[in-house]
Amino acid sequence: MTKILFFLSFQMIVSQNLVKNPSFEDFDKCPWKISMFNKNVDYWSCPNHGSTDFFRACGNTKETKDNYNGEQTPFSGDAYAGIYCYAEDDYREYVQGELHEKLIANETYTIRFYISLAEKSTYSIKNIALLFTGERIGVSTKSASILNSPKGSYQKFGNLSKKFINPETLNTQNDILQNDALIPFYNDTNEWMLVSFIYQAKGYEQFFTIGNFKSNQETDINQEKPEFIHPFAYYYIDAISIEAIKNTYKTDTIYTFQNVLFEFDKAILLDESVEELDELYSYLEHNNLKVEIYGHTDAIGMQTHNEKLSEERAKAVTDYLIKSGLEFNRIQWFGFGSSKPKVENNSEENRGLNRRVEFKFMKL
């Protein structure tokens, strides 16, 4: 099953996906057994000695669905991968991908991929991360790399095993992206869940690895089964994208959020709002500006209630940005209720346009 949570939105120009074979559609042999990811899926590999799985329908079976840890249909195309992100004795599996070109220093990129927890998993976790490196780590693939070239050496990554990869021990430049403190547990076994990051590149990034880079002791876990023999968290992964984004914001211009959503008649942000707010925070993080947040409602209901609700929603957006790291003195919020409609409140469609949250950048 698939649920698209939200899209890139306001004033964002998105370039092409830089990930080679982003949904694992190109491969050598159709997977007739488990552990057929490494050296089989084009431009992908396993960076440690774990045995990542590759799922795709073969032969007369036309739908990729059932597998040994549950069932799921691909988010995109006909294939997906499966990795153990938590298991006994710190066992881990990862997917390592390659970019068409290195990231450009100081450019901002959006990173997105989709995961789904396998039904038989006894735990869910929140420590799914992405690690950028300048070279391929671990064992070789059928694509050229420093490890299977004449000058390559296995000794550089000889400390890797089947256990978790600790980025601090890698003998290569790397940066890790993770949102552990700001997200709930990834525990949906039916729908695909979006994992997203905003990242300012340093210019060396050519490869990336996705998985859990923490030990069992450090991993945040949530028990999903009341009884079990072996503790594990197994995730399907699909549709990986890394795209450059260009912001075209102007100061003293009001913009409307497209996907900042709330529970009905409440000021509680829905999960769908996170990516757009992260984009806004990333822009503020790299620009010397302040921002004002404006909340608005339609004309249904009492005026005093609408004013309070609009102010609380603007404050909820403000609180999220401050929690993300924005300084208090760079943001203000205001609630206008129904006093500043964009259009007349004479239809449900128009009232939907009037229920909105806006923002405006200003110079410090």
The residues, any chain, with a CB within 8 Å of residue 244's CB and separated by 6 or more, are: 14, 15, 18, 103, 104, 107, 108, 109
| Statement: residue 197 has pLDDT above 90 | no
**What's the mean pLDDT when you consider all of the chain?**
87
Residue 329: predicted pLDDT:
94
Residue 6: predicted pLDDT:
30
| Statement: residue 190 has pLDDT above 80 | yes
Beta carbons of 73 and 223 less than 8 angstroms apart: no
| pLDDT confidence band for 135 (50 / 70 / 90) | very high
Measured CA to CA, the distance from residue 83 to residue 55 in angstroms comes to 11
**Contacts for 322-331: CB closer than 8 Å, 24+ residues apart:** 323/182, 324/182, 324/277, 324/278, 324/281, 325/281, 325/285, 326/281, 326/284, 326/285, 329/290, 330/284, 330/289, 330/290, 330/291, 330/364, 331/290, 331/291, 331/292, 331/293
As a whole number, mean pLDDT of residues 67-89 equals: 95
Beta carbons of 205 and 133 less than 8 angstroms apart: yes
pLDDT in tens, 43-59: 999 999 999 999 998 87
| pLDDT confidence band for 139 (50 / 70 / 90) | low
The CATH class, in words, for 12-247 is mainly beta
Sign of CA dihedral 212, 215, 219, 225: positive
Measured CA to CA, the distance from residue 332 to residue 311 in angstroms comes to 11
Measured CA to CA, the distance from residue 282 to residue 259 in angstroms comes to 17
| Statement: residue 299 has pLDDT above 80 | yes
Residue type, 9: S
As a whole number, mean pLDDT of residues 273-299 equals: 88
| Statement: residue 153 has pLDDT above 60 | no
Task: Note the pTM of the prediction, 2 decimals.
Answer: 0.69
Name the range with the highest mean pLDDT among 35-44, 58-67, 131-140, 155-164.
35-44
CATH for 254-363 is 3.30.1330.60
Q: Give me the residue spans of the domains in the chain.
A: 12-247, 254-363
